[in-house]
Chains A and B, each alone.
Chain A
Amino acid sequence: AQSVAQPEDQVNVAEGNPLTVKCTYSVSGNPYLFWYVQYPNRGLQFLLKYITGDNLVKGSYGFEAEFNKSQTSFHLKKPSALVSDSALYFCAVRVLYNFNKFYFGSGTKLNVKP
Chain B
Amino acid sequence: DTEVTQTPKHLVMGMTNKKSLKCEQHMGHRAMYWYKQKAKKPPELMFVYSYEKLSINESVPSRFSPECPNSSLLNLHLHALQPEDSALYLCASSQDNSGGTRSYNEQFFGPGTRLTVL
Contact = CB atoms under 8 A, between A and B. Distances in A.
Contacts of B108: 46
- The interface centre, meaning the residue of B40, B41, B104 with most chain A CB atoms within 10 A of its CB, is B104
Given A101-B56, A102-B107, A42 B48 contact: no
A67 interface: no
Interface in A38-64: 41-46, 49, 51
B56 A46 contact: no
Interface string A64-88: 0000000000000000000000001
Interface residues of B, number: 30
Interface string A3-35: 000000000000000000000000000001010
Interface in B1-27: 4
Interface residues on A, range: 20 to 34
Contacts of B40: 88, 107, 109
A99 B97 CA distance: 5
Contacts of A51: 104
Contacts of B56: 98, 100-101
Interface stretch (B65-73, B74-82, B109-117): B109-117
Contacts of A42: 111-112
A101 B112 contact: no
B112 A43 contact: yes
A43 B4 contact: yes
10 contacts: A43-B90, A43-B92, A43-B110, A46-B106, A94-B97, A99-B104, A100-B97, A104-B42, A104-B43, A105-B42
